[in-house]
Chain A
Amino acid sequence: MDKNFLVIENISKSFGENKVLENINLNISRSEFFGLLGSSGSGKTTLLRILGGFEKPDTGRVILDGVDITNLEPFDRPLNYMFQSYALFPHLNVFNNLAFGIKENFSNKEIETKVKDIAALLSIENLLNRRIKQLSGGEQQRIALGRCLIKQPKLLLLDEPLAALDKKLRSKTQLELTTLQKKLKITFVFVTHDQEEAMSLSDRMAIMKNGLILECSSPEKIYENPKSLYTANFIGIANIIEIYKKDENFYSDDLDINFKLNKELKNTKTNILLRPEKIKIQSSNNSNINSFNSFYGDILEKSYLGSFTRYEIKINNKIISVLDQNFNSNSNYNFPIGGKVVCSWEKESIKILED
């Protein structure tokens, strides 16, 4: 696998006084599905637009498959860009939208074959004669995708590819998009503000904030072992607890309990992350608490989510979120609001945040 298929090197960009990107470095492999995740204003879309050629970086280079494309115009780059609004041409029908990018280089017969092939791949054969306005959001998304894929790009850039779809269609399209990408082996780089979307689509993803890349790794690693407080809070639900060294163990003032860690700490004081599904919840009647890594709490709120129940548990003045899997078919298994419970966790589940 070519690890340096797309190299983003020292990219910086400012709009006037506003620094949008600061010294971005990324290496993306061939056939990788790569996600850029960040809230609005993080610079993720600007980075994607620089890759597409719609913005010029102030400094740095973009190298695609060994070729420096930094100064190439969009129409000279061997890549395609799928717009969030899809940007389908309203004056052309579906067939001509799909054929738009290949009209120049192929004969009518070849164009017809190519359009038919791509339509079959995306199962949109029945839409070819339609006008854009007659299409649903999901259909438009497919046309936009097909219009790019028909050019067989080396790299496909997707700006919020699923943002315009409703929730049900989104999860279906997510699956289709990953299947398609694995089948075609085209490198995909996409931008999203939705952490679930980033997690389910990406092979690897980069977390962006204020024009910087905070972390770049696989979704599993970023979820299980985030380095920063920002990432821990941004991805999934996070219980963040401040602990400090006290005698042999660690202690939290907020929870008034002891912690035992599975590794030594450099600092005497640090934030730790405890994911809600790592916490075991038990009735206080038939279990006792240990001297460390567990506490008594009161259930403040609960929300039934089908496969899980989410509890908000109050201990002292701190609220800890716990996700409990509903593997028992008996609904009485759930703990009532106001009930007293024991929460406990393995020391391996405690993740130390670096900053």
Chain B
Amino acid sequence: MKNKLFEKYFVFTPYFWLVLFFFIPLAIIFKISISVSEWGMPPYQEIILFNDGFKINTTFENYVYIFTDYYYIGSFINSLILALISTFFCLLIGFPLAFYIATSKIRLRNILLVLVIIPFWSSFLLRVYAWKIILQNNGLLNSMLINLGITSEPFQLLYNQYAVIMGIVYTYLPLMILPLYGYLNKFDLNLIEASKDLGLNRFKTFFKVILPLSVPGIVAGSLLVFIPVVGEFIIPEMLGGSDRLYYGKILWEEFFVNRNWPGASALAFSGIIILVLPIVIFQILYSRWSQKNEI
């Protein structure tokens, strides 16, 4: 009887997980976002007051504020563009790598996979900091270029959006390669040969056979890179300059510098909704499409 009950409710484990670690925190953030801010600890008022009778003490001012000030919207758009560009480059570099790994002999394949995973064994902060050392004006790359006589003045490689994109692509590349590899691993190489045999050259074979059949892997890898990059704070902070503001940075400042918890919460909540809603819709449409096409 007990076992049966366990079996019956076991299927709800992922939902339980989702509620506990996603919906409840989200609800707390939402609650804070509609509270009135105050100088104190915590720096907001309760939303239900009982001191002189029952009173609901909420405000949507924060939402009005962030959606009317371009400072917030602009930084969010910057982050979306950054995420799009980074995902594109991760895909551009990751796809050939994943394909090569998936089609190489088993011994080489295992070595290559370990090489992809190895960076995860060192601290993320340390790796980003290492890039700072490589790219700075008296850093490794610039001194090499000067010594080789390619340039006399050091290039400004650090503190711009290109350094940020590079850092993100470097850091998130394994997150693109691994799901892609997992999918391409199952790819029937005979299909490529069949396509060539039927008269399509390498280029056409790629677009008519390899690419359409890799869509699930590409979607999985891209979402895994895109979503966290939108909220990325550390890499733009360390490698980026003051030329561009990103969503993660605004959130940090609102929360820790301005101590405006309700404002920061409104920002976080809006960000999640704006990001998650289209992705959920996309996933539903995509799963319908892939079911129809049986990929």
CB-based contact A75/B197 at 8 Å = yes
Residues of chain A within 8 A of B194, CB atoms compared:
81, 83, 87-89
Residues of chain A within 8 A of B190, CB atoms compared:
83, 85, 87
Q: How far is the CA of A52 from the CA of B198 in the complex (A)?
A: 11
Q: Is there a chain A Cβ closer than 8 Å to B288's Cβ? A: no
Q: Is there a chain A Cβ closer than 8 Å to B193's Cβ? A: yes
Q: Given A80-B198, A101-B199, A133-B294, does the pair A91, B193 have CB atoms closer than 8 Å?
A: no
Which residue from A53, A89, A131 sits with its C-beta under 8 Å from B209? Answer: A89
Q: Nearest CB to that of B292 among chain A residues?
A: A131
A-B contact count (CB 8 A): 63
CB-based contact A91/B199 at 8 Å = no
Interface size class, chain B:
10 to 19
Q: Mark A146-159, 1 if CB is under 8 A from B, else 0.
A: 01100100000000
Which residue from B197, B209, B293 sits with its C-beta under 8 Å from A80? Answer: B197
Which residue of B195, B196, B208, B295 has the most chain A CB atoms within 10 A of its CB atom? B196
Q: Mark B181-207, 1 if CB is under 8 A from A, else 0.
A: 000000010110111111111000000
CB-based contact B209/A81 at 8 Å = no
Majority DSSP secondary structure for residues of A touching B: loop
Residues of chain B within 8 A of A73, CB atoms compared:
196, 201
Interface size class, chain A:
20 to 34
Q: Is there a chain A Cβ closer than 8 Å to B234's Cβ? A: no
Q: Is there a chain A Cβ closer than 8 Å to B141's Cβ? A: no
Residues of chain A within 8 A of B209, CB atoms compared:
89
Q: How far is the CA of A132 from the CA of B191 in the complex (A)?
A: 13
Q: Given A89-B209, A90-B294, does the pair A54, B193 have CB atoms closer than 8 Å?
A: yes
Contacting residues of chain B (152-206) with chain A, CB-CB under 8 angstroms = 188, 190-191, 193-201
Measured CB to CB, the closest approach of chain B to A111, in angstroms, equals 13
Q: Given A83-B190, A85-B188, A131-B294, does the pair A91, B212 have CB atoms closer than 8 Å?
A: yes
Q: How far is the CA of A151 from the CA of B199 in the complex (A)?
A: 9
Which residue from B197, B212, B293 sits with its C-beta under 8 Å from A74? Answer: B197
Contacting residues of chain B (212-251) with chain A, CB-CB under 8 angstroms = 212-213
CB-based contact B295/A90 at 8 Å = yes
Residues of chain B within 8 A of A89, CB atoms compared:
191, 194-195, 209, 213
Q: Mark B270-290, 1 if CB is under 8 A from A, else 0.
A: 000000000000000000000
Residues of chain A within 8 A of B196, CB atoms compared:
53, 73-75
Q: Nearest CB to that of A81 among chain B residues?
A: B197
Q: How far is the CA of A133 from the CA of B194 in the complex (A)?
A: 18
Which residue from B199, B208, B213, B293 sits with its C-beta under 8 Å from A75? Answer: B199
Q: Nearest CB to that of B192 among chain A residues?
A: A87
CB-based contact A100/B198 at 8 Å = yes
Q: Given A54-B193, A74-B193, does the pair A91, B198 have CB atoms closer than 8 Å?
A: no
CB-based contact B198/A147 at 8 Å = yes
Name 13 extra pairs, CB < 8 A, besides A53-B197, A87-B194, A90-B294: A74-B193, A75-B196, A80-B197, A81-B197, A83-B190, A83-B194, A85-B188, A87-B190, A89-B195, A104-B199, A104-B200, A133-B294, A148-B198
| Nearest 6 CB-CB pairings of A with B | A101-B198, A87-B190, A87-B194, A74-B196, A81-B197, A75-B196
